[in-house]
Structure 1
């Protein structure tokens, strides 16, 4: 053991030398030489910013563009929200065409809408004539066909729109306001609307589409209910025919028939021009005059007469389906009736406001008779209808009709509650800014004002009338206009007595709105 001890000393000495070298290297790394280059500083953007510096130097541009935030707790819910100031202007062209205009410089765009008293109520002996004429406007003009016209608008970044309803037919243009785009777009739009060529091949194609659509309607119970409702409520009246026409009337039309209709109703005296966008009054006058110069010359169409009073009736149409569609309604009012505001608000409370309405509470929430139920007030040039629509199981039809009649009678006799009226006023005032939130909405409002000959400050008057309404005002208005003895009922579904255990669903609820686009482009707030 003693002889082995000296042999370990060289190993111990070696370990001590290695340990000393490690310690020395560590010390050298911690203290770099003065000649070594200084470390590269971090980029300025990575340095933390002192909040005090932000407050001392605010972003002036952002502060100018963004309004100060307001706490929701500080908002007075009893006061209507701020309304957009609408500088609406009105004049007539040399031919007597009425023009409505508002300058809006926020976007470099212009919206134009032309409204003609050329809807289905002017069809005469050929139902569908107004619809076919309007649909053919952009199918050809001069030497341009539908493809060339569409390419022309697309090349200019412009959009052409058209539609036909019972009271009116419309044509619209949305275009950029830059000179090189605006002038060309207005020129093409003017040619399309004022000088359509009604080509034979396009006429045959559109007629076949309408004929196919009529066959498809036979498979849609909501469409059948709507057609029967209008026919029974307006027998022998221009509102009673189907805007899409009938097979016999469509077959009897020719391109020449459409040309005659266009020359009679798409005239300077029968047109309203609405313009909203990034142009001044002088340029708006030039555009309106350009449109009026191009349109056929002619007078305004006669005003549609009011229908004869209807009597109470119930018509059932058998349809092999799982549900029964129900329409209950009667004559309402024209667009000029002084009770419009009261009936509009009352309808919102009754069934026009969705899940907060009284009918929804009675039909869906309390009894589970339907997924949805709604009521609509459709004021038109002549007396338009008011209607309640829903669908339910066939074995629940009698109960559903009883609830509808009871709800209508109670509303006529008692009116709404104070709470319902206050809530609906807040809703209408809250929604109203959306009706003037963009140029397209404003031009539709202007067109509606012009077409129905309403005062230029109609929108403000409407809101003021809504705010002044009382429960008694609404009750009295409903009692004046809605006689239970003139109530019409249409049901479409399985034969009475054939029960169906399938639950009511929403698959066809949108069809209940089917067919009638009411005669107003955008009523207030969705009028």
Structure 2
């Protein structure tokens, strides 16, 4: 049985490596200096195009929410088209378009068939809304009212309260600390002129990246990237973000909230995207709490004690170290025990764990890797990440190889280097039967 497991593991490694090696990433710069990431994927007559900017909420300054608001209003008006005309044009073409803003980046993406009668007008309109946006007062007023309603609703959602408190506590005065959409006070103060100024500073060619994945050849991709960035000002790349300061001691806080459940997280700063230890941390995390029912946390907290329906852990690497956190929800009466079991499980994991468990997790990860790139949209997501965070172009091929090479010692060394159980943040939202430490 042991020999069969080893053979299956090796075979999975071989298949996965071969599959991932097929992703041929090409990169270049447009005439205005915008990085382009391109993969030719001719299997389907479709293309995914994304324009990403280093313009996430970390660039808000004191105007919390301005990055998210600017992203939301892209595509609502141009000098030549109003909101309805833009929406109807994309609908008539059968094209999907959307935007998103997080802490590190803001992006707008398009998915289209590659037939010229569809792709040509779609790309023309796409370039127009990105390069010539108009921020209209009436649309901003409508969207502000909608956003304010959503922000008010957050105040009675324990999961949202927990998330906001986690970022605030972990990051203090760092640009990551505040909520991406802003707060009631900061959003109310935003004006059209604020959005224009933010767009002018950050939506520039030097601060942008184009990702193209689909059934278009290199020549077509080059022309699409030039057309998409032609109307952008050249501008300057955003400044590097400051490094956040890790907690120097354990902290704990309970936010009392009328609920039958307690929402819980245990967290600290993790690593930035591209950290060489991320491979070992990622593998170890799947064993600890990132693999669902196969994880140690699920086994200890749910299966043995029945305290939760689900529990998970994860690293969220970003431009600078993002959080590592363990999260769950449980009955108020079980919150104290759940907290103790989580911390005991983490401590035991960092001392030692079964070799068989590690072998199973490695096999599952490597064998399942091809499924992570089985569509253009998935490939586009990875390619955009590789470009934005300046990862090696062979990152996709390298990842399963790294998983296969890692040993238990590698995993334990990385976790002991980066994770400090005696300096973590414990947060609870609900009515846990726990003595309040901080109110």
The verdict on a shared fold, with TM-score over 0.5 as the criterion, is yes
- Residue deviations 1:464-488 (CA, integer Å, cap 9, x gap): 1111000110000000001122200
**Distance apart, 1:76 and its partner CA:** 3.8
From 398, 422, 425, the equivalent of 1:488 is: 425
- The equivalent residue for 1:96 is 33
- The equivalent residue for 1:380 is 318
Q: Residues 497, 300 of structure 1: CA spacing in aligned structure 2 closer, same or farther, 3 A cutoff?
A: closer
- The equivalent residue for 2:270 is 332
**Distance apart, 1:495 and its partner CA:** 5.9
- In 2, Cα distance between the equivalents of 1:221 and 1:232? 16
- In 2, Cα distance between the equivalents of 1:188 and 1:124? 31
- The equivalent residue for 2:64 is 127
- In 1, Cα distance between the equivalents of 2:192 and 2:133? 11
Alignment of 1:125-204 (within 5 A): 125-204=62-141
Q: Larger RCO: Structure 1 or Structure 2 (Cα < 8 Å, ≥ 6 residues apart)?
A: 2
Runs of 4+ in structure 1 deviating by more than 2 angstroms, as ranges, are 75-78, 495-498
- The equivalent residue for 1:10 is none
- The equivalent residue for 2:298 is 360
- In 2, Cα distance between the equivalents of 1:384 and 1:237? 12
Paired residues of 1:312 and 1:488 also in contact (CA < 8 A): yes
**Distance apart, 1:413 and its partner CA:** 2.2
**Distance apart, 1:78 and its partner CA:** 3.6
- The equivalent residue for 1:292 is 229
Paired residues of 1:329 and 1:489 also in contact (CA < 8 A): yes
From 184, 193, 207, the equivalent of 1:247 is: 184
- The equivalent residue for 1:438 is 375
Q: Residues 497, 331 of structure 1: CA spacing in aligned structure 2 closer, same or farther, 3 A cutoff?
A: closer
From 371, 374, 377, the equivalent of 2:309 is: 371
TM-score, normalised relative to structure 1: 0.79
From 331, 334, 339, the equivalent of 1:396 is: 334
From 156, 168, 173, the equivalent of 1:231 is: 168
- Residue deviations 1:303-330 (CA, integer Å, cap 9, x gap): 2121012131001101001011111110
- In 2, Cα distance between the equivalents of 1:243 and 1:485? 29
- In 2, Cα distance between the equivalents of 1:478 and 1:203? 46
- In 2, Cα distance between the equivalents of 1:230 and 1:488? 11
RMSD: 1.6
- Residue deviations 1:477-523 (CA, integer Å, cap 9, x gap): 0000011222001100116469xxxxxxxxxxxxxxxxxxxxxxxxx
Does 2:46 correspond to 1:109? Answer: yes
Q: Structure 1 stretches of 5 or more lacking a match?
A: 1-72, 499-527
How many residue pairs match? The answer is 425
- Residue deviations 1:34-62 (CA, integer Å, cap 9, x gap): xxxxxxxxxxxxxxxxxxxxxxxxxxxxx
Does the residue aligned with 1:144 lie in a helix, a strand or coil? coil
- In 1, Cα distance between the equivalents of 2:375 and 2:262? 40
TM-score, normalised relative to structure 2: 0.94
**Distance apart, 1:403 and its partner CA:** 0.7
- The equivalent residue for 2:11 is 79
Give 1 or 2 for the bigger CA radius of gyration: 1
Does the residue aligned with 2:51 lie in a helix, a strand or coil? strand
Q: Structure 2 stretches of 5 or more lacking a match?
A: none
- In 1, Cα distance between the equivalents of 2:434 and 2:174? 34
Paired residues of 1:267 and 1:295 also in contact (CA < 8 A): yes
